[in-house]
Amino acid sequence: MQKILLIASLLIASTFAFQIDNQELSSLWSAWKVIYSRYYHPGEEEARLAIFQENYKKIMKFNAQSDSAKLGLNKFSDLTAEEFKNKNSRCAFVEEDEDFVKANTEEIFEVGDLPDSIDWRKKDAVTPVKDQGQCGSCWSFSSTGVLEGFYAIKNSKLLSFSEQQIVDCDTNDYGCMGGWPYQAIAYAGKNGLEGEDDYPYTAQDGKCQYEKDKATKINTGYTFVKASDVTALKTALVKGPVSVAIEADEEVFQSYSSGVIKSDCGSSLDHAVLVVGYKTIKGVEAWIVKNSWGTSWGVSGYVYISTDPKPNGGTGVCGILSQPVIPK
């Protein structure tokens, strides 16, 4: 109960306060350390508190100016911007060979009038939010997410597949150093995937322990969805969740708390996530995006990103339209 009250007070303070005195900030810091189980050496705590204070000021300034996305204190609030970039992004690569991508892009068949909203969570095709930890394996989480949805829709059975198998056994990628979601989906097409319980996640590179007899056959391969095309992505979403790459190393991601991100992130793609649908939030249409940073980040582990295609040269907000991919 005490921890719940601390969390509530922390959220209230970080969402609504604009000015806060030193005593209140000290109390906020103490509550934050309890919530996120932070312990520092005496010489380190002063430095981390200074970073925390600076992040708090940035959050308050952003919230005062933003009419949509809101920021708040979270598990990344004691990190500098550079530390956040190094720890929580740069984990996904995209295919830069345009001819290769074009050759492996299939037009998604027309599905008639597109629905006003889609949310595959409501159709039991999305597993609970997971946490990649301090391993640059976002590409594997994006891949298992899209494969879990693909399998659930085909078989009316939702299974949680093993990211660790992909990290350890997909030799075309680089484990905790990053990878390409489409190559992970191709790996699954050839080998199948074991379940999360049979091959649990360790957040570190390991020796491949794949057992074929425990693997589930899911797909045969992958296809890219037409890039820079909102209608193409929506059409693909009618059939199931979609793996996408975004830029996630900016302040708006480090401290994201709620609302729709409409700007403040570019298209230097460094992170892979899962689009599970779209809907309109307070007049703004947004992609519903599942992240892999645990449920304490964002909206219980999710982020809403505007479907506006105009930013970043037509690749959308955070570059989300750059390179969508799905299983087949």
Q: Which of 319, 305, 21 is nearest to 29 (CA)?
A: 21
**Per-residue model confidence as pLDDT tens for the chain (328 residues):** 444 444 444 544 444 444 556 777 888 999 999 999 999 988 899 999 999 999 999 999 999 999 899 999 999 999 999 999 887 667 988 888 999 999 999 877 666 789 999 999 999 999 999 999 999 999 999 999 999 999 999 999 999 999 999 999 999 999 999 999 999 999 999 999 999 999 999 999 999 999 999 999 999 999 999 999 999 999 999 999 999 999 999 999 999 999 999 988 988 999 999 999 999 999 999 999 999 999 999 999 999 999 999 999 999 999 999 999 999 9
pLDDT given at position 174: 93
What is the distance, to the nearest Å, from the Cα of residue 312 to the centroid of all Cα atoms in its chain?
19
**Which residue in 176, 291, 312, 318 is the catalytic one?**
291
The reported pLDDT for the residue numbered 86 is: 83
Backbone angles phi, psi at 303, to 5 degrees: -135, 145
CA dihedral 311, 314, 317, 319 (to 10 degrees): -130
For 21-40, give one letter per residue: b (16+ CB within 10 A) or e: eeeebeebbebbbebeeeee
Residues 250, 82: Cα–Cα separation, whole Å? 9
What are the backbone dihedrals phi and psi of residue 148, each rounded to the nearest 5 degrees, phi first?
Answer: -60, -45
Distances (CA, A) of 149 to 116, 136, 252, 303, 328: 20, 22, 28, 18, 12
* Terminal C-alpha separation, the chain: 47
> What's the one-letter identity of residue 276?
V
* Relative orientation angle of helices 2-16 and 22-35, to the nearest 10 degrees: 130
H or E element that contains 187: helix 181-191
Q: Give the pair of three-digit tokens for residue 210.
A: 């794949």
pLDDT attached to residue 19: 52
Domain ranges within the chain, ordered by starting residue: 2-67, 88-327
Q: How far apart are CA 305 and CA 125, in angstroms?
A: 20
Look at strands 302-306 and 260-261 and give their pairing.
Answer: parallel
pLDDT on residue 6: 47
Q: Is 88-327 a CATH 3.40.50.300 domain?
A: no
For residue 25, the model assigns a pLDDT of 81
Query: Is 41 an annotated catalytic residue?
Result: no
| Angle, in degrees to the nearest 10, between helices 181-191 and 138-155 | 50
What pLDDT, on the 0 to 100 scale, is given for residue 284?
96
Q: Which whole-number Å values give the CA distances from 137 to 28, 174, 228, 306, in the listed order?
A: 32, 9, 25, 25
- Residue matched to tokens 């322990």: 209
Q: What is the DSSP secondary structure assignment for residue 252, as one 8-state letter?
A: H
Residue 138 bears catalytic tag: yes
Among 157, 121, 176, smallest CA distance to 302 is for: 121
Is 271 a residue of the active site? yes
Of 91, 138, 265, 318, catalytic: 138
pLDDT for 12 equals: 44
How many angstroms separate the CA atoms of 196 and 7, rounded? Answer: 30
pLDDT (0 to 100) of residue 87: 79
| H helix or E strand, kind and range, residue 289 | strand 284-290
Catalytic residue of the set 219, 271, 312, 318: 271
